[in-house]
Amino acid sequence: MNTKRLLVVGELNIDLILNDIQGFPKIGTEIVADLMEFTLGSSSAIMASNISSLGIETSFCGMIGEDQFGEYVLDELSKKKVDTKFIKKCIDYKTGVTVVINYDQDRANVTYCGAMNALKISDIPWNEIKNFHHLHLSSYFLQKGIKNDIIKIFQKAKEAGLSTSLDLQYDPEESWDFDYKSCLPFVDVFLPNEAEIYALTGKLNIEDALNEIIPCANIIALKLGKDGSRLVSGNINIKEPPFLNKNYKDAIGAGDSFNAGFIQKYLEGADLETCLRNGNLMGSLSTTCAGGTTAFTSKKEILNKIKDIEKIK
């Protein structure tokens, strides 16, 4: 039995997902979406929920409002056996919400951050940190309460003996003010996608962008969407093709599910190629259902589903 314990620190929100939309929104007009889904959202929560479904003992540290959405978040995480005792309720803000407008394999998001802004470094359970083996943090740019302390958070985790991982996610302000040269030495696994690494480095091609990051990074697991993924670490340079599937629903949470698959195998002591392949596989699985978590049921059912996806490849 796996005994590794994971602490996920990050944002919490619900996703309101609109599909089969008739046209594009314009000011002063109204359009219709034929399908709507209401699910657990946020990069951090999707990763935590899915990796817990894969068998990793997972706890979550975050902030919600004292409202129905917050209770929904707690219930959904608890259903996936995520320990929620480090999630705090904030009286000054409501629980975050993201409205997702889906068009084929692309989308536009509108997020109300709410309580996720209130999370601070002091809310992380440092007095219990040595009970964990790994710390994962997502959505750096959306969490203003911890932005200025990001380096200290990872440094403290490493000093406590934990391995670490980071998924920056998109910067709504497009300033990309992340001091990666100072922070990434304390991050064992950096999990950007292609658009994020371009924006972060200001480079125009992938090799230049990677060369900018490599000197300060330990492991870069780069998500390339329909082109699969790539891993760079020291002299290791691996590309892994995607797992395409015939039951595509949407790509919400696919990158977070990649994170879950990669870190699952990483904590189980697998080689990096296996970690990368499992990330691709879990990202593909995620796209077979609406939202980021609904494809991840019991571990037994997940194994059966991925067997079908592997056959297609």
Using CA of residue 38, residue 71, residue 285, residue 194, what is the dihedral sign? positive
Are 290 and 19 within 8 A, CB to CB? yes
Task: Report if residue 212 sits inside a domain.
Answer: yes
- Residue from 247, 310, 243 nearest 283 by CA: 243
Task: Report if residue 37 sits inside a domain.
Answer: no
Task: Report if residue 33 sits inside a domain.
Answer: no
Distance CA 156, CA 195 (A): 29
- Residue from 124, 64, 68 nearest 91 by CA: 64
pLDDT digits (tens, 9 = 90+) for 168-210: 999 999 999 999 999 999 999 999 999 999 999 999 999 999 9
Task: Report if residue 239 sits inside a domain.
Answer: yes
Distance CA 306, CA 282 (A): 8
Task: Report if residue 269 sits inside a domain.
Answer: yes
Task: Report if residue 129 sits inside a domain.
Answer: yes
The pLDDT score that the predictor gives to residue 136 is: 98
Task: Report if residue 110 sits inside a domain.
Answer: no
CATH number, position 71: 3.40.1190.20
177-184: Cβ within 8 A, 24+ apart: 178/140, 178/141, 178/150, 179/151, 180/213, 180/216, 180/217, 181/216, 182/151, 183/150, 183/151, 183/154, 184/213, 184/216, 184/217, 184/218
Domain that residue 267 falls in: 5-12+42-95+116-312
The pLDDT score that the predictor gives to residue 18 is: 87
| Total tally of structural domains belonging to the chain | 1
Task: Report if residue 101 sits inside a domain.
Answer: no
Order of strands, edge to edge, in the sheet holding 96-103? Answer: 33-41, 13-21, 96-103, 106-112
Q: Which residues of the chain have pLDDT under 70?
A: 1-2, 104-105, 312-313
